[in-house]
Amino acid sequence: MKLALNLALKGEGRTNPNPVVGAVVVKSGEVVAKGYHQKAGLPHAEIIALRKAGDMARGADLYVNLEPCCHHGRTPPCTEAIIASGIKKVILGIRDPNKLVSGRGIRFLRKKGVEVIVGVLRRDCEKINEPFIKYITTGRPWVILKSAFSLDGKIATRTGDSRWITGPQARAYAHRLRSRVDAVLVGAETVRLDDPQLTVRPKKKGVQNPTRIVVAGKTNISASAKIFNNAHKERVIYAATASLSLSQKKKIRGIGVEVLIIKRKKDQVDLSLLMGKLGDIGVSSVMIEGGSEISGTAFKEKLVDKVIYFLAPKIIGGKNAPGPIGGQGIAKLKEFVKVKEMSVARLGNDLVIVGNI
């Protein structure tokens, strides 16, 4: 199953709206074939593995991290292919949360005489498909909050200088994270101050840039901002309230940027409504990359599912130097947001801390 999970991760960031899935055919204790789902519309992991196995699949075991589909979508049902191949046992990580599938694939296989075991490395199998599970069950995207800060909790100096807090290895990892999500999101103030591209660099063959989303602030941003580059070719969204002027809207749309008008909440874009709208248009995962006010609002509205924090061995200091989470924060310590399933790893001189909310 660990091999199936590692295979599944190869499709991360490319399979939306489908989950990431890996499959391994094992016979007499030996791996005879393996496969993973590469992209929506292409063959599923089970089909690829079974095709590679050929006649060796008869009487063999099939390991899959997610319940095989039993409905007709863009591709035929995997359960029928499993039966036709002669597989005798299927070992699964988790049931498919999709109501079109959940439990039906398992029942179909058992009815046809195939032994099915469910729950192997269950939590590991859930974790690699967290975005899919949330999206398919709620219609809303999985929200990751990513930030980099100094040892004393500062994301920039008092003058706004923030390049670079972390080292090259941490920054390279941040680019890989972008390749795994459907969209990245920042506030307009971050665009004004940092002028980020929010693209994947270096861009490898087959890797697409995520949808780039800018949430409007109190001041307009330039149509020449780097985040708007290639908007005619790659999806870029500007989320604003109805206060956006017609001339500004026309200018932004003129460079290929999609404009979403979202109801306001306390003179700003209602972030919760925006997330719901993003879910409606097929965005299943969003990584918030700043700034501190957007991050603070995301926590206040209980929108954050996962945090990825990069901690650099540097001291910035100063009461006017911003931290990663803006807004008022909590009043009582007992109101803290608990981070679960936390992991810590080293990237060069920096630490990356990951946890679920």
Please tell me which residue in 12, 30, 46, 341 is annotated as part of the active site: 46
Name the residue among 173, 101, 172 with its Cα closest to residue 132: 101
Relative to beta strand 236-240, strand 61-66 is unpaired
Cα 334 from chain centroid (whole Å): 30
CA distance linking residue 11 with residue 9, whole number of Å: 5
Q: Is 30 exposed, middle or buried (0-12, 13-18, 19+ CB in 10 A)?
A: exposed
Cross-strand partners of 347: 350
Secondary structure of 47-114 as H, E, C letters: HHHHHHHHHHHCCCEEEEEECCCCCCCCCCCHHHHHHHHCCCEEEEEECCCCCCCCCHHHHHHHHCCC
Cross-strand partners of 116: 90
Q: What residues contact 151, with CB distance under 8 A and at least 6 apart?
A: 311, 312, 313, 314, 315
Token digits of residue 317 = 């200091």
Cross-strand partners of 287: 144, 184
Specify the residue for token string 């209602």.
Answer: 270
Token digits of residue 30 = 């030996």
Token digits of residue 204 = 């490898």
Active site annotation includes 335:
no
Whether the CB-CB separation of 186 and 199 falls below 8 Å is answered with no
Token digits of residue 91 = 């070992």
Relative to beta strand 211-215, strand 236-240 is parallel
Residues acting as catalytic residues: 46
